[in-house]
Amino acid sequence: MAAPAHKRLLFLFFAGLLLAGAVVLRFSQVDRRPFHADEAVQAYQTWNLIRGQGYTYDPADKHGPFLYYAAAGLAKISGWAPPVLNESRLRLVSLIAGLGTLALFAGSAARLGVGPALIATALVAVAPLAVIYDTSFIQEAWFCFFSWGLFFALLHALDHPAWPAVLLVGLLGGLMQATKETSVIHFAALGAAAVAIKNPKDIIRLWPQWLAGLVTATLVYVVFYSAGFTRWIGVVDGLRSYAGYAGRAASSPHDQPWYFYFHMLWPHTSEGTRWGEPLLLAFAAVGAAFGFTSRASPTHRATAVFTLGTLALYSVIPYKTPWLLLTPYAGLALLAGYGIGSLAEIYPKGLMRFAPLLLGLVLVGEAAIRDRSALGRYLNDARNPYVYQPTVAQFPLLVERLRELSAQSDHALRMAVVSPDHAWPLPWYLRYEPTTGYFTTPPPNAAAFDLVIYDSRLAASPATERMQVFGLRPNVLLWLARPESVREARNVSPP
């Protein structure tokens, strides 16, 4: 039965209000921090693509190609030439995906229920984790959007296995894989969710439709990894990448204990600053528990299985970063909405009539309080649990200083960047400096350079002629030095 017109209008009003607030909050963040190292790598790849140098998939150290083509498409539509690309414009690509996830949750109210849909939309709209990575030029915002899009498409296809529905499943699955190779983790959790609400025999009986979906996903994969049918080795490289990522998942510098994500959300103190989202965890736990009872709807149960499944798989894998939590975090927000609704149902309606609204407001208010720290004072601070190895807020001072020196020079400055990892995001900011070289040890011809930028991770500070010290990341400094300083530093052993 359709909802009365006034209730639909009220729902649309609140949903629109939440989306508008999310837009304002996210737009306020797109230019408030310098590029993270990973953002700069993606931006550099996109810059090369837009200026006609094409795209080459690297199976060793890159994610799927979708983000680059999406950014290139937005640049073409907007008329952005390579020289005008900047952090804010590139981050708009991710912002679109983040708003898409919110619209997806609000637009799925008929399946989720009005209460859970609005509560989840509100929670994700103001969540620091979502705001930060919806405004970061990395793959995660699109990966989250495609994952939840596939979740709802799969549930619809299981209920109504018509060809268009199954082809949409294939399309979204292909786009997920073209965004990140770790899509296999989400595919596994989605498969478990499907089995949790549908008899496996009924699922297998639809094998012709699933085969058509697989063909669709494969076609999407080939289009992206072959760079539009121009570089076929990319199709093979896309498969080869899984061996490399399996090795990195087993052992990498980013290994964390299994409880890393739980610790992010559990109340804790980091150097005197308090963090945590205990109410979200509590209501999500209630929602998950109700999801496995007889009173839960199939969508409720599938949400619990998909969310807990992805969270468990990401927890088992040693490789962990905060942005990997984005997709399961959106699921926790949905489960919190279900938890609030389920608690309200077991009490007298007169007593608990406004409970979902009040509890939802409490949760959103708690998130808004966190925003003041996570998106304000500690936005570029290692104490912020939602960021990882952030570029420090003072880094742009180095870029500004280099531009000043370049403007004062009567020739193109010859610069050497000595760093174990090219001091990303510096190569992005120096992309128009053709006389810049990158070295992992001080170059033997240091005197040939006008300036040398030296990474503190390689050796002790240059002893003489030091010009200035700048921050790169937490506990990592860059020294802007004259060549004479680096000639002395060449003989300094690493600490």
Q: Looking at residues 172-192, what average pLDDT do you find? A: 95
Count of domains forming the chain: 2
Do 445 and 361 belong together in one domain? no
Which among 57, 83, 81 has a CA at the least distance from the CA of 68?
Answer: 57
* Stretch (H or E) spanning 131: helix 128-134
Do 327 and 449 belong together in one domain? no
pLDDT the model gives residue 347: 67
Domain holding 476, by residue range, is 395-489
Do 209 and 102 belong together in one domain? yes
* Helical spans, DSSP H, in 198-297: 200-204, 207-225, 233-250, 260-265, 278-291
In a domain, 382, yes or no: no
pLDDT the model gives residue 370: 86
Q: CA 339, CA 304: separation in Å to the nearest integer?
A: 11
Structure tokens at 6: 């006034």
Do 449 and 365 belong together in one domain? no
In a domain, 390, yes or no: no
pLDDT the model gives residue 290: 94
Q: CA 198, CA 174: separation in Å to the nearest integer?
A: 23
Structure tokens at 431: 């992309």
Q: CA 109, CA 475: separation in Å to the nearest integer?
A: 46
In a domain, 494, yes or no: no
Q: Looking at residues 69-87, what average pLDDT do you find? A: 94
Q: Give the pLDDT confidence of 10-24 residue by residue, as tens digits.
A: 888 989 999 999 999
pLDDT the model gives residue 249: 61
Do 359 and 422 belong together in one domain? no
In a domain, 149, yes or no: yes
Q: CA 295, CA 288: separation in Å to the nearest integer?
A: 12
Do 263 and 316 belong together in one domain? yes
Do 42 and 189 belong together in one domain? yes
Do 265 and 370 belong together in one domain? yes
Query: Has this prediction a pTM greater than 0.85?
Result: yes
Confidence check: pLDDT of 493 > 80: no
The more confidently predicted of residues 365 and 194 is: 194
Grade residue 349 by pLDDT with cuts at 50, 70 and 90. Answer: low
Do 419 and 471 belong together in one domain? yes
pLDDT the model gives residue 444: 82
- Where among 377, 412, 444 does a domain terminate? 377
Angle, CA 31 vertex, CA 26 and CA 32 arms, to 5°:
85
In a domain, 156, yes or no: yes
3 state SS of 460: coil
Of 53-57, 173-177, 373-377, give the lowest mean pLDDT range. 53-57
Do 316 and 435 belong together in one domain? no
Q: pLDDT over 70 for what percent of the chain?
A: 91
Q: Looking at residues 410-418, what average pLDDT do you find? A: 89
The more confidently predicted of residues 58 and 194 is: 194
Grade residue 351 by pLDDT with cuts at 50, 70 and 90. Answer: low
pLDDT the model gives residue 484: 54
In a domain, 388, yes or no: no
Do 346 and 410 belong together in one domain? no
